[in-house]
Amino acid sequence: MNSEITTGADYASRRRRSSRRRKRRGLPLIRLFLLLALLCAALAYREFGSLLSNRYAPNTRGSALLQSTAQASALKPFAADLAVPEADSGTDLLGDVRAEGVLLIDGTNEKALLSRNAYTRMNPASTTKIMTCLLALEDSDIHMDDVWTAGPEIVVSEPGASMGGFQQGDKLTAEQVLYCLMVRSGADAANMIAKQVAGSEEAFVEKMNARAKELGATGTHFTNSHGLTDPDHYTTPYDLYLILHEAMKYPEFQKLASQKLYTADYVDAAGQPVQKKWFNTNYYLVGKAKLPEGFSVVAAKTGTTLAAGACLAQLTASESGKQYYSVVLKSPNHDVLYQDASLLLQKSAQVH
């Protein structure tokens, strides 16, 4: 009897001890579970806070790229280190300037001085070739001493197009083709560059438009590498300034875009020597027009078609060392174009 009681008590005691051991073993698991739950809650709170922050924070990237113009409905590209003009500024000083699109910028201080239709889309004619040249200079696979062979791409159908005079099979260096582009304004040179850089005109045009967007030239759309007439090929005075400003970062561009005369010696398809002399199409550089006293051309590109009128984008320097970007689009003719460009520089002193 006593034996049975003693055994039962022992059994109960053993069960209580076993229960306590199970409870002690379970405590770490419970603590681990609670710790994991707290960690998940903290992560969820952080992600939720980040979502709210991103959703309601101001779009600083967009505001850095776009800035309102004087007209509430208009937008214009913006970059911190570039001038941002009003669409029309200093109009009282532009009465004698006949061009439809005008922009004068103090390049030393990046300050807009005068503007007319700065964000209006216009046909740029051969000032397009600034972008063509820029893409060639930016391409690390292109070297000045590379030898290129002219192919079917050099054929240009538009009457009156400025040409370098290449024949299929001609072998020229990349440097010679680039000089033809910027000095002679050769459309055949532009097509050769497009093929060498991108493989085709179409692929090159895609690069042109992509690069324009990167530069903030949102009012620009290219359909070819040379600037010949196409209703879907356009830019604005401001966008042209942006493109020229970027090109000026390359010393090679300044050299290409300021040469008065370039002589190219190369060989034709039969290996026979060919020599071409190309005079710059810029009247200032070749002495057909005179800059205002104390100014000189640093780099420039002209353009002329029936649709675009006479155009000029250039950087000039004064004797004091100040630099000025001038963009003149759609002047009635060449004579008026250089009158307009000179008037802009003359008026620069009045608007500082």
DSSP 87-142: SSB-GGG-TT---SEEEEEETTTTEEEEEESTT--B--GGGGHHHHHHHHHH-TT-
The kind and range of the H/E element at 313 are strand 309-318
Here the tokens at position 202 are: 């179409």
Give the helix/strand (H/E) hosting 147. strand 147-149
CA separation for the pair 321, 305 (Å, rounded): 34
Determine whether 129 is an active site residue: yes
Q: How many Å apart are CA 310 and CA 306, to the nearest integer?
A: 8
Burial of 290 (0-12, 13-18, 19+ CB in 10 A): exposed
CA separation for the pair 121, 101 (Å, rounded): 9
* Measured distance CA(169)–CA(268) in Å, rounded: 6
Take residue 298 and report the two structure tokens written for it: 């640093």
Q: Among 342, 335, 330, 312, which residue's Cα sits nearest to residue 129?
A: 312
C-alpha span between 13 and 197 (Å, rounded): 91
d(CA 180, CA 133): 11
Selecting among 89, 115, 126, 225, the annotated active-site residue is: 126
CB 225 within 8 A of CB 205: yes
25 vs 106: CA distance, rounded Å? 80
| Active-site annotation holder among 129, 207, 276, 330 | 129
Q: Which of 115, 162, 185, 258 is catalytic?
A: 185
Give catalytic status of residue 185 as yes or no: yes
Number of Cβ within a 10 Å radius of residue 33: 10
Instruction: Clarify whether 53 is annotated catalytic.
Output: no
Closest alpha carbon to 303 in 115, 108, 127: 127
Which residues are tagged catalytic?
Answer: 126, 129, 185
